Amino acid sequence: MRGHLILRVVSKILIPFLLLFALYVQFHGDFGPGGGFQAGVIVAAAFVLYALIFGLRATQKIISPALLEVAVPLGVLIYAGVGVYTWLMGGNFLDYNMIDSHDPSHGQHLGVLLVEAGVLLTVSSTMLLIFYTFAGRGR
Amino acid sequence: MEGLNELAFVLGGVNHWITVFLIMAGLYIIVSRSNMIKKLVGLSIFQTSVYLLYVSPGKIIGGTAPIIIANAPDQMYSNPLPHVLILTAIVVGVATLALGLALVVRINEAYGSIEEDEVYSGEDWN
Amino acid sequence: MLDQLPAIIIAVPLIAAAVCAIIRNETICWLIALVVAFVSFVGSATMLGQVQQYGEDISYKLGGWAPPAGIEYKVDLLAGYVLVLVSLIATAVLIYGRQSVKVEIKKSMQGWYYTMYLLCMCGLLGIVITGDAFNAFVFMEISSLSMYTLIALGKDRRAVAAAYQYLILGTIGATMYVIGVGLLFTLTGTLNLADLAVRLGPMLDTPAAIAGMAFIIVGLSLKIALFPLHLWLPNAYAFAPSAVTAFLAATATKVSIYLLMRYLYTVFGFGFAIEQTPIPEVVMVLSLLAIFAGSFTAIFQENVKRMLAYSSVAQIGYITLGIALANATGLTGSLVHIFNHAVMKGALFMLVGGIAMQIGTVRLSDMAGAGKAMPLTMFGFVLGGFSMLGVPGTVGFVSKWYLAMGALENGWWWVVALLMLSSLLVLVYMGRVIEVAFFRERPADAVPLKEAPKSMIMTAWVFILACVYLGFDTSFTVGVAEQAVNVLLGGAQ
């Protein structure tokens, strides 16, 4: 696709907005439809678009498959880490009320934020990794 | 009146009719196609029926998102639980599809074909 | 700490799986997996002990949300019994499997193998412990997806094709289950199993409830591999890596059987599902067909792993037969057989894994004369065969005894006769292996054989000895099973 000037210019303009939109969806999850799953897929879509236009190799230079293979379990660990933290604070697994000792609703807020961050990391890297695996096969 | 009731039955349950259609269409594709990718497409359609089955009864016409609004505490809202469940089911569906496609890629590399009858009949399974 | 046990046995394997996925070093991953599996085993056993001691179910609110809105983890006697079984087998297969994994799975994949193994264990334990219908589906898919991956790791190219077959059928099963749950959820507005049972009570005979029940039972039957829905099982068992086969055969189907029992006896209830629907009759006919078709097909298998897989189809028939008998004795037999079959089939698959490692194939014709070269392995196989046959003094006898007594209680003497007859078929197919291994000379040009590595033989023999020990001392299996049956039938009597 190197010759297609319009595609390259348009996608270069689009990709930052895609990532921005992903962040919006991620952080708007508290008040409306949104959250880690959706945001993760949008992040991955931005990179897939980049890979379609500029090639797989160029994308893998930005985010290498090895990095993604670490990012997938890391997201799970962030999620589970919140649960372990609530254990340490004396609550049940993933009982967000325990995170903030002064105000349980702050704890809920922070808990969901952290958990969704983990979800974002895992979902986006899984999606991208799936794309890498299929696109890179047979070369 | 009789005819009107029947019409209400057909139209009122339109989401269920579509669900049933998706279940049957998905299963039919899985059974009738020998191409492994097409089978996975059928499987995906079959799973999609579940999404509709769960989400459609949760929607209340005129209902809003289930968030407490300070000056309108009695606001009617849609049940949020089905959406959360189906989000999980969609993720499961994606994972299944990705794994299935990965297996088909491996099968293609090992057998040189993704037609089920060629893969299974050409092999001694004992 | 103790009150957190239900979450610990689920969350720790999950965390460990993620850690293994980052580390990916074979030795470290194996150690982590072993420690975690053992922790799960100790946790499960402690919980079972607690439930037995205080006579009170353990209920755990995940995330602090109270049921029925929140997800509840619930351990009663039945759940504790299956949890102990799954975690015990998982630990043993880890000890057993290390050498065979080193041989059978590519070096770069070994770290991933343990990741998937832990995920699978987490999923299986989760299905048992959760008190939430949808959560059970999620755990079912966690365990199934990792199981497909584990099967596809097999050396043979047929492993991938078998995994694909299992993926299609397994997903259909799980989706049917979730459709059924969806219908019940639309009807009652709850997903908590206990709450579902209460709210379903007055509307059990509505079409939606019956349709939901049908979907759930058919979906779970696919997962159980109840005849004639067993088509995925033989290939999956035959071509998976040896350690995976031992784990899969001993746990995966058992957990689905547990879930089916839960639905039939507690959610839909004895009074409806058993007494007012033809389910017991249908399940009984299918179980008997499974016993005979499975055993009969096993006789003609040339691949020993495939032969044992068909025998598993038959053994599952014995377990579901107990469900169909629907009296306390038959159900006890069924529950005892879940444990016993896991122990003896686990042991047999472990021994066959050792043979596969030494000979390189599991074809019957290549095993000629193996009795002389691998006496420990083949002698264990003989004892395991006795147990499958139901010789008195082995576990196989105990469960068949209870099943036969249960059938007599219902006045179905012909079922007892068929049970006896089916043992003859077991004699034929196990006898074939023993004949080839002991009474045929090893061809002169064949590679010289020696015993499999100690760790493999030892673990398998611990299970073989357990087959004999549990055949005499039934206080654990039968004792717990009888109490667990009371839990199942509690609502009815």
Structure confidence by residue, pLDDT tens digits, A27-55: 887 776 778 888 999 999 999 999 999 88
% pLDDT > 70, chain C: 99
Cα separation, C325 vs C333, in Å, equals 10
Cα separation, A89 vs A100, in Å, equals 9
Distance from CA of A70 to the nearest CA of C (A): 6
Cα separation, A10 vs A50, in Å, equals 11
Residue B126 is assigned to a structural domain of this protein: no
Neighbors of chain C by Cβ distance (3+ pairs < 8 Å)? A, B
Number of domains in chain C: 1
Closest residue, chain C, to A96 (C-alpha) = C63
CB contact (8 A) between residue A93 and residue C62: yes
* Domain that includes residue A17, residue range: 5-135
Q: Confidence band (pLDDT; 50, 70, 90) for C493? A: very low
The pLDDT tens digits of the residues spanning C308-346 come to 999 999 999 999 999 888 888 889 999 999 999 999 999
Q: Give the CATH number, domain containing residue B87.
A: 1.10.287.3510
CB B69 within 8 A of CB B75: yes
Nearest to B125 among C145, C178, C235 (CB): C235
Place of tokens 């469940």: B85
Asked if C41 reaches chain B (Cβ–Cβ under 8 Å), the answer is: no
Among C255, C315, C262, CA closest to C120: C255
Most confident of A42-46, C204-208, C351-355: A42-46
Contacts of C61 in chain A (CB under 8 A): 92
The pLDDT tens digits of the residues spanning C144-156 come to 999 999 999 988 8
More confident call, C492 vs C298: C298
SS3 content of chain C, % helix, strand, coil (to 5): 80, 5, 15
User: Which candidate in C2, C25, C62 is best for mutational testing of the A interface (most A CBs within 10 A)?
Assistant: C62
ipTM of the complex as predicted: 0.91
Number of domains in chain A: 1
CB contact (8 A) between residue C4 and residue A87: yes
User: Which candidate in C144, C155, C175, C179 is best for mutational testing of the B interface (most B CBs within 10 A)?
Assistant: C175
Residue C323 is assigned to a structural domain of this protein: yes
Asked if C164 reaches chain B (Cβ–Cβ under 8 Å), the answer is: yes
Contacts of A69 in chain C (CB under 8 A): 21
SS3 content of chain A, % helix, strand, coil (to 5): 80, 0, 20
The answer to whether residue B38 scores a pLDDT higher than 70 is yes
CA separation (Å) from B114 to B36, B104, B111, C474? 6, 7, 8, 51
Neighbors of chain A by Cβ distance (3+ pairs < 8 Å)? B, C
What is the pLDDT, as a whole number, of residue C221? 93
CB contact (8 A) between residue C64 and residue A83: no
Nearest to B106 among C160, C238, C303 (CB): C160
The pLDDT tens digits of the residues spanning A79-114 come to 999 988 888 888 888 888 877 778 888 888 888 888
Residue C289 is assigned to a structural domain of this protein: yes
Contacts of C22 in chain A (CB under 8 A): 70, 73-74
Rg (Cα) of chain C, in Å, rounded? 21
CB contact (8 A) between residue B105 and residue A33: no
Most confident of A88-92, C73-77, C137-141: C137-141
pTM: 0.93
CB contact (8 A) between residue B85 and residue C168: no
End-to-end Cα spacing for chain A: 18
Closest residue, chain A, to C59 (C-alpha) = A92
Residue C219 is assigned to a structural domain of this protein: no
User: Which candidate in C1, C3, C4 is best for mutational testing of the A interface (most A CBs within 10 A)?
Assistant: C4
The pLDDT tens digits of the residues spanning C394-436 come to 888 888 889 999 999 888 888 889 988 888 888 888 888 888 8
Retrieve residue A32's tokens: 């409306």
Asked if C301 reaches chain B (Cβ–Cβ under 8 Å), the answer is: yes
The pLDDT tens digits of the residues spanning B44-99 come to 999 999 999 888 887 777 777 676 667 766 677 777 788 888 888 998 999 999 99
Distance from CA of A126 to the nearest CA of B (A): 9
Question: What's the mean pLDDT in C72-94?
Answer: 91
Q: Confidence band (pLDDT; 50, 70, 90) for C492? A: very low
Asked if B36 reaches chain C (Cβ–Cβ under 8 Å), the answer is: yes
Q: Confidence band (pLDDT; 50, 70, 90) for B2? A: low
The pLDDT tens digits of the residues spanning C216-244 come to 999 999 999 988 888 889 989 989 998 99
Distance from CA of B84 to the nearest CA of A (A): 11
Helix ranges restricted to H, C276-374:
279-299, 304-325, 328-359, 370-373
Closest residue, chain B, to A126 (C-alpha) = B95
Half-sphere exposure in the Cβ direction for A44 (13 Å, CA) = 23
Strand partners, C60: C73
* Domain that includes residue C399, residue range: 279-493
Retrieve residue C482's tokens: 């009888």
What is the pLDDT, as a whole number, of residue A4? 82
The pLDDT tens digits of the residues spanning C247-273 come to 999 999 999 999 999 898 888 888 887
Per-residue DSSP letter, C4: G
Asked if A139 reaches chain B (Cβ–Cβ under 8 Å), the answer is: no
Cis peptide before C202 (omega within 30 of 0): no
Among A61, A62, A84, A78, CA closest to A123: A78
Strand partners, C61: C72
Rg (Cα) of chain A, in Å, rounded? 18
Write down the mean pLDDT value for chain C. 88
Number of domains in chain B: 1
The pLDDT tens digits of the residues spanning C4-38 come to 888 889 999 999 999 999 988 889 999 999 999 99
Q: What sign does the dihedral C220-C248-C270-C198 (CA atoms) show? A: negative
What count of other Cβ atoms lies within 10 Å of the Cβ of residue C357?
17
Q: Confidence band (pLDDT; 50, 70, 90) for A2? A: low
What is the pLDDT, as a whole number, of residue B49? 92
Place of tokens 């989400």: B55
Return phi, psi of residue C75, to 5°.
Answer: -120, 110
Contacts of A123 in chain B (CB under 8 A): 91
Cα separation, C40 vs C88, in Å, equals 9
Per-residue DSSP letter, C265: I
* Chain A 4-43, residues with CB within 8 Å of chain B CB atoms: 31-33, 37
Q: Which amino acid is at C408?
A: L
* Domain that includes residue B41, residue range: 2-121
What count of other Cβ atoms lies within 10 Å of the Cβ of residue A26?
22
